[in-house]
């Protein structure tokens, strides 16, 4: 079904329209502090299934449920470990998603049949307005076509989903830039399934210990999203390690001499060192790099045939999450 897609400021009118759409089983795109989400009523089976169809998302990759900060969590999950209360106090609302034992109140399509439920309370003002206005758990993946780069502006959402949804609520550019940290809280010690702005170290500082999940060969994936190619721009890509930056520069020049539209993606220090003419500069520090990554990947696919990326020197802290996305984007 092709429909007209509108980008709307968040106000009483657009919220009322969004509510009408959500209550009739539709999906609305909304901003969060990480990336834009594509939301539907988590209680509504067909609405949740529709989200997978709109995105072309594999049917075994579960969704995060979003709620406002006053929502009663215990109505959605069966057990709330003590340490998650400490984490909520330290980091919520904010870019931390916690996975709990589900009490099966939302549609089974949300968690794709798993007995757990991922819950997130975003801090973005527009997200909170939207979620409070609805007062429902909203199942929402990132608002991009599956496997493409996640959207950090309303325009990015439009570019991917125009004709497929009616409303995109515009809350400006997302400040965080990479998706929330996904933390498995079903065990005695929390375990990071997807890295993000709330790092394993930050979590360990609050609760004493935090594991980081590494997939072993043959093991059943705990966070199904991790097995898919992701975040990929629609152009050729190649990634060099930081120590190979001179090789990257030579490759870029070679491609240019062949008449290809090549561009270097790197952090500011590598930019200062190599001074390439065509650059997607990720910035100076980890926060800047996280905030710029998806915007620059989308700019790259627009202006270049090939992105030649150099891995930043810094790879700890928030950069764990940034590097994880870079490696997936660059295959």
Residues 104-143 that bind Mg ion (CB under 5 A): 142
Q: 222 or 327, CB closer to ligand TXA?
A: 222
Torsion of CA 204, 210, 325, 144, to 10 degrees: -100
Task: Based on the shown chain and the rule CB under 6 A, indicate whether residue 119 belongs to the binding site for ligand TXA.
Answer: no
Binding marks (x or -) toward Mg ion, 170..199, rule CB under 5 A?
------------------------------
Q: Whose structure tokens read 């905030």?
A: 291
Buried-exposed string 204-225: b where 16+ CB fall within 10 A, e elsewhere: beebeebbebeeeeeeeebbbb
C-beta of 152: minimal distance to ligand TXA in Å? 11
Q: What is the spatial distance between Cα 308 and Cα 286, in angstroms, rounded to a whole number?
A: 20
Q: Contact region for ligand TXA (CB under 6 A) — 41-49, 79-87, 109-117, 250-258? A: 109-117
* CA diameter of the chain: 61
Q: 142 or 153, CB closer to Mg ion?
A: 142
C-beta of 186: minimal distance to ligand TXA in Å? 8
* Backbone torsions φ then ψ of 203, nearest 5 degrees: -70, -45
Task: Based on the shown chain and the rule CB under 6 A, indicate whether residue 153 belongs to the binding site for ligand TXA.
Answer: no
Residue 259, number of CB atoms within 10 A of its CB: 8
Q: Which residues contact 152 (CB under 8 A, 6 or more apart)?
A: 35, 36, 173, 174, 177, 291, 294, 295
**Residue of this chain nearest to ligand TXA (CB atom):** 225
Q: What is the spatial distance between Cα 173 and Cα 156, in angstroms, rounded to a whole number?
A: 10
Binding marks (x or -) toward Mg ion, 20..59, rule CB under 5 A?
----------------------------------------
DSSP H stretches of helix in 177-285: 200-207, 245-257, 268-274
Q: 128 or 142, CB closer to Mg ion?
A: 142
DSSP H stretches of helix in the chain: 12-23, 45-55, 82-91, 125-134, 154-161, 200-207, 245-257, 268-274, 286-303, 318-329
Q: What is the spatial distance between Cα 324 and Cα 27, in angstroms, rounded to a whole number?
A: 29
C-beta of 252: minimal distance to ligand TXA in Å? 31
Q: How far is CA 168 from the centre of its chain?
A: 17
Q: Contact region for ligand TXA (CB under 6 A) — 72-80, 108-116, 203-211, 258-266? A: 108-116
Q: 81 or 151, CB closer to Mg ion?
A: 151
Q: 314 or 328, CB closer to ligand TXA?
A: 328
**Packed helices 125-134 and 12-23: angle between N→C axes, nearest 10 degrees:** 50
Q: Contact region for ligand TXA (CB under 6 A) — 27-35, 81-89, 160-168, 276-284? A: 27-35
Give me 293's structure tokens.
């990554």
C-beta of 32: minimal distance to ligand TXA in Å? 5
Task: Based on the shown chain and the rule CB under 6 A, indicate whether residue 140 belongs to the binding site for ligand TXA.
Answer: yes
C-beta of 25: minimal distance to ligand TXA in Å? 19
Q: Rule CB under 6 A: which residues touch ligand TXA?
A: 32, 34-35, 37, 61-64, 95, 97, 99, 111, 114, 116-118, 120, 122, 140-142, 179-180, 182, 193-194, 222-225
Q: Rule CB under 5 A: which residues touch Mg ion?
A: 142
């Amino acid at each position: 079904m092709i429909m007209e897609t509108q980008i709307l400021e968040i106000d009483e009118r657009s919220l009322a329209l969004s509510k009408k759409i959500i209550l009739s089983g539709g999906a609305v795109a909304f901003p969060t502090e990480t990336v834009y989400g594509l939301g539907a009523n988590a209680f509504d089976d067909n609405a949740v299934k529709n989200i997978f169809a709109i995105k072309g998302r594999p049917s075994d990759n579960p969704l995060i449920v979003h709620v406002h900060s006053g929502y009663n969590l215990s109505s959605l999950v069966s057990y709330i470990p003590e340490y998650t209360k400490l984490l909520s106090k330290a980091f919520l609302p904010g870019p931390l998603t916690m996975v709990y034992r589900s009490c099966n109140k939302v549609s089974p399509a949300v968690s794709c049949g798993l007995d757990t439920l991922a819950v997130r309370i975003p801090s973005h003002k527009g997200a909170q307005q939207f979620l409070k206005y609805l007062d429902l758990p909203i199942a929402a993946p990132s608002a991009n076509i599956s496997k493409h780069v996640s959207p950090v502006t309303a325009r990015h959402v439009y570019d991917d989903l125009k004709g497929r949804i009616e409303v995109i609520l515009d809350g400006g550019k997302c400040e965080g830039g990479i998706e929330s940290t996904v933390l498995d809280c079903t065990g005695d010690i929390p375990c990071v399934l997807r890295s993000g702005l709330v790092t394993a170290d930050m979590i360990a500082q609050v609760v004493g210990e935090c594991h980081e999940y590494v997939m072993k060969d043959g093991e059943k994936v705990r966070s199904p999203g991790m097995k898919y190619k992701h975040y990929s721009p629609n152009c050729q890509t190649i990634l060099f390690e930081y120590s190979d930056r001179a090789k990257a520069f030579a490759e870029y020049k070679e491609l240019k001499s062949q008449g290809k539209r090549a561009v270097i993606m790197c952090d500011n220090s590598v930019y200062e060192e190599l001074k390439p003419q065509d650059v997607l500069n990720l910035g100076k520090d980890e926060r800047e790099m996280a905030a710029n990554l998806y915007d620059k990947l989308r700019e790259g696919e627009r202006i270049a045939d090939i992105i030649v990326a150099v891995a930043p020197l810094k790879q700890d802290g928030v950069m764990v999450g940034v590097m994880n996305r870079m490696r997936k984007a660059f295959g």
